[in-house]
Amino acid sequence: MMRASDDRLTIYERSRPGRRAFVAPLLDVPERALDELLPPELRRSEAPRLPEVAEPEIVRHYNRLSRRNFDLDTGFYPLGSCTMKYNPKLHERVAGLPGHARLHPLQDPSRAQGALELMWKLQQSLGEIAGLPHVSLQPSAGSHGELAGVLLTRAYHEDHGDRRTKVLTPDNAHGTNPATVTMAGYEVVKVGTDERGNVDLDDLRAKATEDVACLMLTNPSTVGLFEQGIEEIERIVHGVGATLYYDGANLNAIMGICRPGDMGFDIVHFNLHKSFTQPHGGGGPGAGPIAVAERIEPYLPRPQVIVREGTNGSGPRYDLDYDRPKSIGRLRGFQGNYGVFVRSYAYIRSLGAAGLREVSEVAVLNANYLLARLQREGVAEYLPAAYDRICKHEFVLSGTPMKRALGIKTLDLAKRLLDFGVHPPTVYFPLIVDEALLIEPTETETKETLDRFADIVAEILREAAEDPELARNAPYTTPVRRLDEAQAARHPVVRQAM
């Protein structure tokens, strides 16, 4: 693809004084003096220095920018813990219907029955998938859902006259877990993982005291393995009166097969931008709804979507319920990311019960198949599986032998993968595996894509055996090569100078 020499110009550098795109509607009211309407001392002296570009140039600029992005519709994205599955195009069509897209959030509920019904039905569906009866769609992202979960836990304990100060998280937890705990005013206590990849039950027993408010867990864990001690974990945690919180990042492995509610979790959050196909958008938007057990229901955020039976044979009426005296309150404005709900609802309606189960079955099949392919000779001795078990929807390899034997690190392997037109897996997470590579293919990839990925990894290792410098200086064929991140952190330049 041809690359123009001015590809790297910003929209500001393409500006020329006097150029414009916007044409204002005609002023159709009598014009009054500006000073009369807004006294000069309230006004800015200079207009913000926004770009001055005509429309064709704006479109060309952003189109060309877009081509400097790798994306899921173009190639394989085996990012562990991110569930990069196909984003169905139907969803954009239905989300764009004006009845959904141009609906004001403060429209009277009697005139937003379609929206409220959709939210109610989505809640019911998510509750069924999680195995918990009550759902709030309000949180805007996974970490927002986690915060909700910890705040709900706090409200529950305080309502029972109980002051607790600690929250337990496994040492392989996603960084949002401990950050959330601190924001919610608790102290983080880490629980160890054993060599089978499960929570260390002895360590948990030692740390699960009456001072603990909650254990935050994900199952399958962040190393892609089903938590074999989950029943004992539930007994220990509930035994000290703490709540059990489920991080739903790995839900793609178990839909229709088992449910966190049935495992004893009290609070579950979902990432609609993971299992439920909301497009990642280059880093948002998403949504992080939560499902909770009966005893946590009173504390759910305000407002809640509810349904009332219709009168005189009319259908059910949906509403927003603000009358929730024990609620933790609001977590954000309005009702949540409705545009995301429309897409997730369309997904669930398209798949149904059997489809969702198939998703998890094939996600786990694909992951185990890819693991088997990568455990062949030529790869396994450099990138062994961190845990010798059947995995679920993702698995962890360690690049430590590769580093010792071939002199290239996980980072170098990732950068060299870019030259082969695939997105690298998640690297250096989870923290408990040295030189970690966390790989999640998802169910929407073909077998030949998985085969090709395994072949590419083998190829890169062969290259490195001959010349480790190749990977160390990769990538070569991307729009830019390795970037100086230290410089960007030392002397941050976060806006265009003018």
Partner 1 sequence: MTSYVSATEAERREMLAAIGVGSIDDLFADIPAQLRLGRALALDAGLSEQEVYDELRALAARNVSAEDEVTFLGAGMYDSYVPALVDSIISRSEFLTPYTPYQPEISQGGLQAMFEYQTAISELTGLPVSNASVYEGPSAVAAAGYVAKLENGRRRFIVSRGVHPHARETLATLAKGYGMETEEAPLRDGRTELPPLDDSVSAIILQQPNFLGVVEEVAPLAAAAREAGALTICSCDPIPLALLKPPGECGVDVAVGEGQTLGNRLDFGGPSFGFFAVTQSLLRRIPGRIAGETTDVEGRRGFVLTLQTREQHIRRERATSNICTSQALNALAGVIYLSWLGRRGLVELAELMLQRTAYARERLAAVEGVELLVDQPVVREFAVRLGAPVESVIARCREEGINPGYPLGRDYPELDDCLLVAITERRTRADIDRLADALAAAVATERERLAVRA
Partner 2 sequence: MAEASYPDDLLYHSEHDWARVDGDTATFGITWYAQDALGEVVFFEAPKLGAQIVKDESYTEVESVKAVSDVIAPLSGEIIEVNTALGDQPETINEDPYGEGWLIKVKLADPSEAESLMDAAAYQATLA
- Three-state DSSP at 481 gives coil
CB of 189 closer than 8 Å to CB of 212: yes
Total Cβ atoms within 10 A of residue 104: 9
Q: Which does 380 bind (CB under 5 to 8 A by kind): partner 1, partner 2, none?
A: none
Position among 1, 42, 50, 489 found at the interface with partner 2 (CB under 8 A): 489
Q: Are 204 and 182 in contact (CB under 8 A)?
A: no
Hey, which residues between 320 and 379 contact partner 2 (CB under 8 A)?
A: none
CA-based torsion, 377, 381, 387, 388: positive or negative: positive
Residue 320 as a binder of partner 1 (CB under 8 A): the answer is no
**Interaction mask 107-136, partner 1, x per CB under 8 A:** x---xxxxx-xx------x--xx-x-----
- The nearer residue to partner 1, 201 or 465, going by C-beta atoms, is 201
Residue 31 interacts with partner 2 (CB under 8 A): yes or no: no
Q: Does 319 participate in binding partner 1 (rule CB under 8 A)?
A: no
Please choose which of partner 1, partner 2, none residue 2 contacts, taking the beta carbon within 5 to 8 angstroms, the exact cut-off set by kind.
none
- Total residues at interface with partner 2 (CB under 8 A): 5
Q: Which is nearer to partner 1, 404 or 496 (CB)?
A: 496
* Binding piece for partner 2, criterion CB under 8 A, among 2-10, 183-191, 274-282, 486-494: 486-494
CA proximity to 303, closest of 333, 328, 335, 268? 335
Q: Please, what is the minimum distance in Å from the beta carbon of residue 415 to partner 2?
A: 15
493 near partner 2, judged by CB under 8 A: no
- Least distance CB 100 / partner 1 (angstroms): 5
Q: Which of 3, 6, 99, 326 binds partner 1 (CB under 8 A)?
A: 99
Q: Between residues 79 and 291, which has the closer beta carbon with respect to partner 1?
A: 79
- What does each C-alpha distance from 266 to 78, 106, 242 come to in angstroms? 30, 32, 10
Which of the stretches 25-33, 236-244, 395-403, 458-466 binds partner 1 when contact is defined by CB under 8 A? 25-33
DSSP 405-471: HHS--HHHHHHHHHHTT----EES-STTSTTEEEE---TTS-HHHHHHHHHHHHHHHHHHHH-THHH
Question: Long-range contacts made by residues 50-55, C-beta under 8 angstroms, separation at least 24?
Answer: 51/11, 51/12, 51/14, 51/15, 52/15, 52/16, 52/17, 52/18, 52/19, 52/20, 53/11, 53/14, 53/15, 53/16, 53/19, 53/20, 53/21, 54/19, 54/20, 54/21, 55/21
> Looking at 139-147, 205-213, 289-297, 401-409, which segment touches partner 1 (CB under 8 A)?
139-147
Collapsing DSSP to helix, strand or coil, 245 comes out as: strand
398-405: which pairs have CB atoms within 8 A and are 24 or more residues apart?
398/433, 398/434, 398/435, 398/436, 398/437, 399/434, 399/435, 399/436, 399/437, 400/434, 400/435, 402/435, 402/461, 402/464, 403/435, 405/381
Distance CA 268, CA 245 (A): 6
Q: Apex CA 215: angle with CA 275 and CA 232, to 5°?
A: 95
- Please report how the helices 176-183 and 142-159 are oriented relative to each other, as an axis angle in degrees rounded to 10: 40
70/428 with CB nearer partner 2 = 428
Does the footprint of partner 2 cover residue 485 (CB under 8 A)? yes
At 247, is the secondary structure helix, strand, or coil?
strand
Token pair 């002397």: residue: 491
Contact 307, 134 (CB under 8 A): no
- Contact call for residue 170 and partner 1 (CB under 8 A): no
Question: Taking CB under 8 A as the rule, does residue 191 contact partner 1?
Answer: no
Residue in 159, 162, 353, 381 binding partner 1, rule: CB under 8 A: 353
- Binding residue (CB under 8 A) for partner 1 from 202, 206, 350, 469: 350
For position 480 contacting partner 2 by CB under 8 A, the verdict is no
Q: Report the residue from 3, 6, 105, 459 that binds partner 1 according to the rule CB under 8 A.
A: 105
Min CB(463)–partner 2 separation in Å: 25
Is residue 483 within the footprint of partner 2 (CB under 8 A)? no
- Part of the chain binding partner 1 (CB under 8 A), chosen from 238-246, 283-291, 306-314, 464-472: 283-291
21 binds partner 1 (CB under 8 A): yes
Q: Which stretch binds partner 1 (CB under 8 A): 21-29, 201-209, 432-440, 462-470?
A: 21-29
To partner 2, the closest distance from the beta carbon of 472 in angstroms equals 15
Please list, in sequence order, all residues whose beta carbon lies within 8 angstroms of the beta carbon of residue 338, skipping any fewer than 6 positions away: 100, 103, 105, 115, 119
Task: Using alpha carbons, select from 370, 367, 371, 437 the residue that is nearest to residue 409.
Answer: 437
Q: Which does 389 bind (CB under 5 to 8 A by kind): partner 2, partner 1, none?
A: partner 1
From residue 427 to residue 456, what is the string marking binding to partner 2 with x (rule CB under 8 A)? -x----------------------------
Q: Which of 1, 2, 37, 486 binds partner 2 (CB under 8 A)?
A: 486
Stretch that binds partner 2, among 28-36, 237-245, 378-386, 485-493 (CB under 8 A): 485-493
Residues that bind partner 2 (CB under 8 A): 428, 485-486, 489-490
